[in-house]
Homo-oligomer: A and B are copies of this chain.
Amino acid sequence: MARERLVVVGGDAAGMSAAANARRRRPAADLAIDVYEQGPHASYAACGIPYYIGGLVPSEQRLIARRVEQFEAEGIGVHLRHQVEGIDPAQRRVLVKPLDGGEARWEPYDHLLLATGSMPVRPQVPGIDARGVFGLNTLESGIAVHRFLEEERPRRAVIVGGGYIGLEMAEALIMRGLQVALVEKEEQVMLTLDADMAAPIARRLEELGVELRLGEALTAFETADGRLRAVVTEKGTISCDMAVLGLGVRPRSELAREAGIPLGVRGAVVVNERMQTEVPGIWAAGDCAQTFHLVSRRPFWVALGTVANKQGRVAGINLGGGYATFPGVVGTAITKVCELEIARTGLQEREIAALGWESVVVRIEAPTRAHYYPDAGRATVKLLAERGSGRLLGGQIVGTDGAGKRIDVVATALHAGLTVEEFLHLDLAYAPPFSPVWDPLLVAARQLAGSL
């Protein structure tokens, strides 16, 4: 019998990272660890689902990062298809329901980690439950889309939502040979980019054959015999055989709310830098937890595997008796549409205005390699800085051939609070096959420094 018991709710990135890190510091005799996961897999790569659907990843098995047996071998009990239905913080116990049969039972804990993740926004419109309408929240939902494509051979698909999942699914379905329309209620795709940076992405989608319908909100799914026949918007009807929802996600925090644990931004669980909630003995990490934005200096919420892994690690170190803190994020994200790389970090114009701050911005275009080196790509770089202080506030990149990952330099500068003048002098790597002598980032900074 172990001295203490850690119960983890949710067996994906944050939960399993925490379990593994806690185990590394405390042996099984000291800390029993039990993970309850409602799905049939532990720790899979949700971000890989569009590439599996598109055919780039040959089998869903490739998306499973680690198997239950590996965790069990480390003395971590992983209970798949077990749903935690309630928390009793006063008596430090959780109500666990085995989904494959059997009664719900109370399980005691000394430490509880909520790693319940996020769930896709699902609009309550007519026809939402029709066959052929898919959300993408779990590996199983990805497998369901894959099977539908194989078995039903749909020809026309509508993507609802022009964000990351929407764009990645548009690419995937185009690669599978479908006709694709994309419906987005705003006047641009990729709302996390400014409109001027999103415009070339829309053009590229249209070149690829995607029928873009911007400024059209979904109102219903038209069905026949329980099967999807068309997507209906305020402006028209688009007949199709399948639809994929890409309307974003929200924290899965009902369990926490019902237990009286304070929630913050977008309903995410409020935690401190060590990942402790405001209720003693209860921790939270990953998509269900709130975090901090290091540029806006405000509480923030984001659902990303990288953040979940880091927060899980920090929670695990603390639960293992160590000391670690997670300082926050700067809002970095990247994706691609075929060869077009799309990346952003920090604050965009809309966010800066909402804070009441004033920004100075620049947008430049530059090659990704020396002008004389063959096959150089192009990068459009936008940088945003605070008027007055000159502090860098954000960056956006759209381009080809290594343009996108350059955003990491801006992200690092945002972590460090660099000014544009400091950024301009960064000693970035240069050789003709890798960069022009002025890297596109520094071309932008040089011009921005001139306007400050």
Cβ of A402 under 8 Å from chain B: yes
Cβ of A333 under 8 Å from chain B: yes
Known A-B contacts A405-B406, A411-B426, A415-B427; the reply to A433 vs B62 at CB < 8 A is no
Cβ of A304 under 8 Å from chain B: yes
Interface centre among A47, A63, A294, A408 (most CB of B within 10 A): A408
Interface members, chain A 419-452 (any B CB < 8 Å): 422, 424-435, 437-439, 446
Closest B residue to A405 using CB positions: B434
Q: Does B431 lie within 8 Å of A336, measured CB to CB?
A: yes
Known A-B contacts A306-B428, A336-B431, A413-B416; the reply to A313 vs B446 at CB < 8 A is yes
The complex places the Cα of A409 from the Cα of B415 at a distance, in Å, of 11
Q: Does B418 lie within 8 Å of A418, measured CB to CB?
A: no
Q: Does A430 lie within 8 Å of B330, measured CB to CB?
A: no
Cβ of A353 under 8 Å from chain B: no
Known A-B contacts A373-B57, A413-B416, A429-B411; the reply to A404 vs B335 at CB < 8 A is no
Cβ of A96 under 8 Å from chain B: no
Q: Does A370 lie within 8 Å of B45, measured CB to CB?
A: yes
Chain B: minimal CB distance from A70 (Å): 15
The complex places the Cα of A172 from the Cα of B142 at a distance, in Å, of 47
Known A-B contacts A408-B428, A427-B332, A428-B411; the reply to A45 vs B374 at CB < 8 A is no
Q: Does B334 lie within 8 Å of A431, measured CB to CB?
A: yes
Chain B residues with CB below 8 A from A345, complex form: 427, 429
Chain B residues with CB below 8 A from A373, complex form: 48, 51, 56-57
The complex places the Cα of A432 from the Cα of B45 at a distance, in Å, of 9
The complex places the Cα of A438 from the Cα of B20 at a distance, in Å, of 15
Cβ of A327 under 8 Å from chain B: yes
Closest B residue to A51 using CB positions: B432
The complex places the Cα of A9 from the Cα of B8 at a distance, in Å, of 69
The complex places the Cα of A432 from the Cα of B406 at a distance, in Å, of 16
Chain B residues with CB below 8 A from A417, complex form: 416
The complex places the Cα of A293 from the Cα of B402 at a distance, in Å, of 28
Cβ of A326 under 8 Å from chain B: yes
Contact partner of A47 (CB less than 8 A), chosen from B327, B370, B416, is B370
Chain B: minimal CB distance from A49 (Å): 9
Chain B residues with CB below 8 A from A408, complex form: 406, 408-409, 426, 428-429, 439
Cβ of A268 under 8 Å from chain B: no
Q: Does B48 lie within 8 Å of A306, measured CB to CB?
A: no
Interface members, chain A 334-351 (any B CB < 8 Å): 334-336, 341, 343, 345
Q: Does A428 lie within 8 Å of B310, measured CB to CB?
A: no
Chain B residues with CB below 8 A from A48, complex form: 370, 372-373, 432
Apart from A56-B374, A310-B424, list 4 A-B contacts with CB within 8 A.
A62-B371, A327-B422, A327-B425, A412-B426
Of all A-B residue pairs in the complex, the 4 with the closest CB atoms, nearest first, are: A416-B416, A334-B429, A62-B372, A412-B412
